[in-house]
Amino acid sequence: MTSQTAPPPVEDERRTPRRQLPRLVVGGRDVTSGVGFVVALVLLVVLAAVTTENFLTEQNLTNLLRQMVTVGLLAYGMLVVILTAGIDLSVGSVVAFSGIVSAGLVADLPIPLALAVGVAAGIGFGLVNGLLIAGFDLAPFVVTLAALTTIRGLAFVYSEVPIAPEDPGFFTLGTALAGPIPVPTLIMIGVFVVGGIFLTRTPAGRAIVAIGGNRETVRLAGISVKKHLVLAYTISGTCAGLAGVILASRVGIAQPSVGVAFELDAIAACVIGGASLAGGRGSVRATLGGVIVLSLINNLLNLHGVQSFWQQVLKGLIIIAVIIVQRRSMGERA
């Protein structure tokens, strides 16, 4: 009943197997993690250096280093949360609140204490987010969206007008230099180094990564999912608080309206770095790469004097392009 068509002998030359580079796994070997970024970075730097006069000036580079601190700190916290398959939309509002509170307190408190209170506010907000999400089993998107408006509101309640402390000591944290490198940049790098070790080498960090992969398995392995979720959001809140205080100190004026849509940049940095919003996958190093790429794009567009609305359009398109290149180089299925 069958046509016994003998299939022709196999002649076509060996098809080379599709290139499949290992993915970026926290703790896994990141042999290939560089490739995508190095290409993107080199392209951006060359582009910037060739098409603008000011890119390679000391002033611009210092500026670049300073500007990446906010998104950098937010991105690390965001990564921790994304690894658990969550999201933290409230970080932009926390930046505003922490900044304005510390600026406001400078009049009454010693400066270090005022700054510490700003960071502590971030810790507190993160803790509340985490407790709501883990304790009541609420969706992270919903909880942190509610936190976004609540905390923004609180910032305006604290002060409707920007606060610019007169004490020059307030600016020290944000503007100090260590050699050629801004101190805030060093703080950010410190957060990434310690944060990287935390995620790859401590039981709590590994638990956070594992929860995003399969929380049932983690729970049955005797690890408290709730506790680690709270920890993850607290870390994100802490980073946001720190970012807010540093930002206020750098620009010297704290505005209740600052930080709108910062969460999106932070998420973009993680995703450019290969993190999966489904959780369990993401790399600290690659996220830092994402932060640098994002900052370079901003800087480039600024130097070219691109009008700000067009900047947003271009940035969006460039982010998509970078992500596509990045995914390809990681051998992700199209």
C-alpha distances (whole Å) from 17 to each of 13, 74, 95, 331 are 12, 39, 48, 12
Bridge partners, 207 (sequence order): none
Min separation Cβ 32 and another protein, Å: 11
The nearer residue to another protein, 18 or 178, going by C-beta atoms, is 18
- Site residues for another protein, window 230-289 (CB under 8 A)? 276, 279-281
The nearest distance, CB 207 to another protein, in angstroms, is 7
By CB under 8 A, name the one of 108, 137, 160, 216 that touches another protein. 216
If one asks whether residue 220 binds another protein (CB under 8 A), the answer comes out as yes
Check binding of 334 to another protein (CB under 8 A). Answer: no
Taking the least distance from each CB to another protein, the nearer of 11 and 160 is: 11
209 binds another protein (CB under 8 A): yes
Q: Does 214 bind another protein (CB under 8 A)?
A: yes
Residue range at the interface with another protein (CB under 8 A); choices 17-25, 64-72, 142-150, 242-250: 17-25
46 in contact with another protein (CB under 8 A)? no
Is residue 2 within the footprint of another protein (CB under 8 A)? yes
Query: What tokens were used for 41?
Result: 């970075």
The CA angle 68-270-150, to the nearest 5 degrees, is 80
Q: Which residues of 81-101 are buried (b: 16+ CB within 10 A; e: fewer)?
A: bbbbbbbbbbbbbbbbbbbbb
Q: How far is Cα of residue 105 from the mean position of the Cα atoms in its chain?
A: 28
* Smallest separation, CB 81 to another protein (Å): 16
32 CB contacts (<8 Å, ≥6 apart)?
A: 21, 22, 24, 329, 330
Cα separation, 254 vs 101, in Å, equals 8
> Phi/psi zone of residue 5: left (φ > 0), alpha (ψ -120 to 50 degrees), beta?
beta
Phi, psi of 15 (to 5 degrees): -75, 130
Whichever of 16 and 59 has its CB closer to another protein, that residue is 16
For another protein, the closer CB: 261 or 334: 334
Near another protein in 177-206, by CB under 8 A: 197, 201-203, 206
Rounded to 5 degrees, φ, ψ at 16 are -70, 130
Nearest-approach distance from CB 281 to another protein, in angstroms: 5
The binder of another protein chosen from 51, 54, 217, 307 (CB under 8 A) = 217
Q: Across the strands, what pairs with 177? A: 182
- Using CB under 8 A as the binding rule, whether residue 208 contacts another protein is answered as no
Determine the Cα angle at 185 with ends 182 and 191, to 5°: 150
Counted residue by residue, the chain has a size of 334
By CB under 8 A, tell whether 32 contacts another protein. no
Q: What type of residue is 185? A: T
Instruction: Name the minimum Å distance from CB 193 to another protein.
Output: 13
327 counts as binding another protein under rule CB under 8 A: no
CB of 75 to another protein, least distance (A): 20
The closest alpha carbon to 23, from 317, 323, 281, belongs to: 281
Strand partners, 254: 163
CB of 232 to another protein, least distance (A): 16
Q: Residues interacting with another protein, by CB under 8 A?
A: 1-5, 7, 10, 12, 14-15, 17-18, 20, 22-23, 25, 27-29, 197, 201-203, 206-207, 209-210, 212-214, 216-224, 276, 279-281
